[in-house]
Chains A and B, each alone.
Chain A
């Protein structure tokens, strides 16, 4: 898996330009061009003027050659410019798929004869792994393929897939056993049973999904096209109609001469809304410039235009709706212990914990309970490990620990206390139902209570959503949380809808569903698992810290990696819509003139 060093592709990549230059002439084929009827008309007009030009040269036409020649040249330029723009866009799409394939790196795996630590292994390439093979993965190694952990537990950095930098625990048994090829183990060693043949892995599936995902024209764009086609047809008829009418008038009045073919063709091209077709890219570039001032790189002008038409926003919960980190908001004692006692123990258990959650426990204990315990001199930090899944401090002969309810209960039971306070389960459930994370605190074998760790919804986000709603934009929260937690946060942030336990396929389906209903969808993402959805979304914003596939699939990249930017982008898009309208106005008033 490549690291995130490669910059997003430049709009004017030399190789891309060359490819487009060749393609733009190939696209002159009427069979290809008929999908763009306006341009096809211009092309036919170009051919006609070319013929009249040749006729002028041969002296078979009364019009001067320079006149027919210039008209013809301009018409050809118009056509080629438009096909060139299209070829460039297509070249970019192809480059995206190619780069994704490159990201399937071929790592070496240690295939075990038996699923046991210390078993004999052979070194083979990842592509030779088959379903049912067992491989050993040690610290700082990359997992060669998708599979289940069958032995051991490890911290795994899944940033390559999810874009989340915090490592996660993967261990045998339970629902945390699945690992993905391309992620890397940070600590400990695990044995993985491969569950997917090469070509069927997560990454392959993602590539398949991305290739299947097709960004479409915005509904407004299509409707505008309808209008343009109709206008073109009418103008065509107007010009065709002028010919017999003028010859009739000339015959009757006996003066002047009928309007020539070249003039009619030129008139038609002036009238026809080619201005819009040719100038729309220019608006896009203006929009790109405006976004660049906000530290956002738009990879196509169309993306920004589409942003103006967006009416569904898919927002990642983490970072957009909530601060990325959970914060301790309350201490809930159990088993008859006092709040103060729990606060002290929680403070002790977190005093050396440098994670944002740990620091928030310290802050809460100090501010709300005026505790100011200095770190005891004999304090020994017990780091979070994949085996115990607890962290804490040993100090003054006592063991302070905090962790998930089941791990803490396991810990105290190991110390010999079989009695768990009866109200613990109730408190833990209540906190979980409220969309927060319960952390159980114990001192030695005594469970004191629960820390309520809450996802903090960003200040002012509700107002922002209200504003979006009044603009007719619907917000949908995407989260990997369970539906319960998701619902609680969704209610607090006042989003219109949410998708819990979101899998890549589900995100993609959600986007397609919305698009089928005629909505324009914008989303942000940073992981490879977001890539298919990003490729499908009309406006796809990738974080600069995101994985390469995600950035390739997106059409807008935020250099600040601030998910909230999506809201700004939509606003800029709305502003960009106006020039498009002005251009339409211009084109029409041009015709009137």
Chain B
């Protein structure tokens, strides 16, 4: 790494660490209903919302009601978006007159945005109108993020509260999260992005002449649109010249800000954050990267503050940072080593295929680990073009269960489930009573934590097996072999873990991926959410056991190391065989030069 890259990396993490405490503390205040500096402005809005929607803010809910409200809210959102996508051609703000989505694609997309996955089996500029992007997708970016945070807050309350069944009011948490946290930050971020050149307009797409006209071989099509083939079966081509290009426009900045902040990741354009209108300069790399990590990182501090011991939060953040930095290191090493097959040709270079030169190696790699460690899934790099071991890093970060910062809220609650398992196993190993934050870990908590952490993994394993024996899924693979396996695996892992980024190289808009993917996204989102809420309900009902000599301290370095180990072991045990047949096999093939 050169000095610029060190600076890029160091500045990002220092800035993040500097912001965790103020933002985390602020969020704790917001969710505990305390007065903040935004209260004079927003408290009246908040009250108005409650009055209009008939929410009784003091009416706290048990876990079942909380989960019920969460599901009801998400179901409504899903239906609204589903209908909107199907009927897009009838709705306003559609200068390109884009048609409605097919029902399978609409289903997949609606579920994808409701579950904070933002898997996109369509390309934004080709399929979605401005209305869909703004009223549909951007709104979902806000509320799906707020849903995740609300659940995480309810889970924290479960740890903190004693002998009660109440976890707070879902509608209040949702409102406060959106009003006090997401909207203000997204608003500022959107303005900053516009200042960097991110566009924000309602214009129809522009057609501009190319500076240099482009000649290429074009497939000749018959009357029914199929490629013509000559006698030997090769497609017939004809020479064509392109002299102009269509440039898509749109209200990008407003969606871009929340896309990163809410770890959503659904790009306005198909190229996502690699597109210059989404992500024009190295400064936006820093800003967008920071936005991705900001809330998941700060939530650990919110957790610490609400638990009355901020070290508990720093411990979790430490674990997240540790794994993130390690994976970044490996990725950076793999990418700067490049491909030996290319080197053998006499070209000494790091692997810049699929990367944007304006972000550089470190800028691309940082974004890659941040977007996969969190469940964001925005990409500024073609993940498919990473070296095999490099590509294994984002894949591994997703497979670990989206806990290395993780999705907003979901990262924290899944991490807490891991912490519970770590506490339990270490309790067995050293003869300590399994307690976390003064709450006894019992059978129910074990069940629910395990469900929380293995749902996604189980689905990835099952679906990848099914994919390999489904002819349609095999046919959709553009790169057969080990790399193709990695692509399928990445796609399924991305959906099941609600990440949403893709390795590409795979035609995902087929029924197999649209439908099974929808199932994976739904289960991957709501099963853990309900499980952790149930766990919170169970924990809240317990009494507080003051720490004794027999209690394992969970706010110290040894526990952080232990937790890291548990996370890595669970991940390795589950996915090693698959990783071996995908990226590792590909890496060995690459070294062997076969």
Would you give the shortest CB distance from B434 to chain A, in whole angstroms? 7
State A237–B461 Cα separation when bound (angstroms): 6
B residues within 8 A CB of A518?
440, 442
Which residue from B431, B446, B484 sits with its C-beta under 8 Å from A575? B431
State A444–B441 Cα separation when bound (angstroms): 67
Are A241 and B462 closer than 8 Å at their CB atoms? yes
Q: What sequence of 0s and 1s flags, for each residue 491-532 of chain B, a beta carbon within 8 Å of any chain A beta carbon?
A: 000000000000000000000000000000000000000000
Are A248 and B441 closer than 8 Å at their CB atoms? no
State A226–B465 Cα separation when bound (angstroms): 25
Are A233 and B458 closer than 8 Å at their CB atoms? yes
Q: B19 on the interface (CB 8 Å rule)?
A: no
Main secondary structure of the interface of A (DSSP, over half): helix
Are B429 and A585 closer than 8 Å at their CB atoms? yes
A residues within 8 A CB of B445?
223
B residues within 8 A CB of A472?
433, 545, 548-551
State A230–B585 Cα separation when bound (angstroms): 28
Are A241 and B577 closer than 8 Å at their CB atoms? yes
Q: A166 on the interface (CB 8 Å rule)?
A: no
Are B481 and A230 closer than 8 Å at their CB atoms? no
A residues within 8 A CB of B469?
244
Which residue from B428, B550, B569, B585 sits with its C-beta under 8 Å from A249? B585
Are A574 and B577 closer than 8 Å at their CB atoms? no
A226-B450, A248-B474, A584-B425 known; A592-B573 Cβ under 8 A: yes
A residues within 8 A CB of B484?
252
A227-B421, A230-B450, A238-B574 known; A219-B442 Cβ under 8 A: yes
B residues within 8 A CB of A471?
548-550
Q: B166 on the interface (CB 8 Å rule)?
A: no
Q: A231 on the interface (CB 8 Å rule)?
A: yes
A residues within 8 A CB of B428?
220, 224, 577, 580-581, 584
Q: What sequence of 0s and 1s flags, for each residue 223-259 of chain B, a beta carbon within 8 Å of any chain A beta carbon?
A: 0000000000000000000000000000000000000
Q: How many residues of B contact A (CB 8 A)?
A: 48
Residue of B nearest to A235 (CB): B573
Q: What sequence of 0s and 1s flags, for each residue 429-472 of chain B, a beta carbon within 8 Å of any chain A beta carbon?
A: 11101100000111101110010001001100110111011000
A residues within 8 A CB of B427?
220
Which residue from A227, A231, A245, A470 sits with its C-beta under 8 Å from B465? A245
Would you give the shortest CB distance from A251 to chain B, in whole angstroms? 9
Q: B424 on the interface (CB 8 Å rule)?
A: yes
Q: B578 on the interface (CB 8 Å rule)?
A: yes
A residues within 8 A CB of B67?
none
Q: B480 on the interface (CB 8 Å rule)?
A: yes
Are A592 and B569 closer than 8 Å at their CB atoms? yes
Q: B12 on the interface (CB 8 Å rule)?
A: no
A residues within 8 A CB of B577?
238, 241-242, 245
Q: How many residues of A contact B (CB 8 A)?
A: 47
Q: Give the most central of B430, B446, B485: most A CB within 10 Å.
A: B446
Are B482 and A249 closer than 8 Å at their CB atoms? yes
Are A247 and B468 closer than 8 Å at their CB atoms? yes
State A575–B427 Cα separation when bound (angstroms): 13
Are A470 and B454 closer than 8 Å at their CB atoms? no
Are B468 and A469 closer than 8 Å at their CB atoms? no
Scan residues 238-295 of chain A and give those whose CB is less than 8 A from a CB of chain B: 238, 240-249, 252-253, 271
Are A238 and B461 closer than 8 Å at their CB atoms? yes
State A230–B454 Cα separation when bound (angstroms): 8
Q: Give the most central of B443, B458, B466, B569: most A CB within 10 Å.
A: B443
Q: Give the most central of A230, A245, A311: most B CB within 10 Å.
A: A245
State A152–B440 Cα separation when bound (angstroms): 56
State A26–B446 Cα separation when bound (angstroms): 32
Q: B71 on the interface (CB 8 Å rule)?
A: no
Are A574 and B431 closer than 8 Å at their CB atoms? yes
Q: A301 on the interface (CB 8 Å rule)?
A: no
State A518–B446 Cα separation when bound (angstroms): 14
Residue of B nearest to A585 (CB): B429
Are A591 and B573 closer than 8 Å at their CB atoms? yes
Q: A234 on the interface (CB 8 Å rule)?
A: yes
Q: B126 on the interface (CB 8 Å rule)?
A: no
Would you give the shortest CB distance from B441 to chain A, in whole angstroms? 7
Which residue from B430, B431, B446, B550 sits with its C-beta under 8 Å from A223? B446
Q: A582 on the interface (CB 8 Å rule)?
A: yes
Q: List 13 A-B contacts (CB under 8 A).
A: A220-B427, A224-B428, A227-B421, A234-B573, A241-B461, A243-B465, A271-B573, A470-B550, A578-B430, A581-B426, A584-B425, A588-B573, A591-B573
**A interface residue numbers (CB < 8 A to B):** 219-220, 222-224, 226-227, 230-231, 233-235, 237-238, 240-249, 252-253, 271, 308-309, 311, 469-472, 518, 574-575, 577-578, 580-582, 584-585, 588, 591-592
Interface contacts beyond A227-B450, A577-B431: sample of 12 additional A-B pairs, CB < 8 Å, sorted by A: A219-B443, A223-B442, A226-B450, A241-B577, A243-B465, A244-B465, A245-B468, A245-B485, A249-B485, A249-B585, A253-B481, A581-B429
**B interface residue numbers (CB < 8 A to A):** 421, 424-431, 433-434, 440-443, 445-447, 450, 454, 457-458, 461-462, 464-466, 468-469, 474, 480-482, 484-485, 545, 548-551, 569, 572-574, 577-578, 581, 585
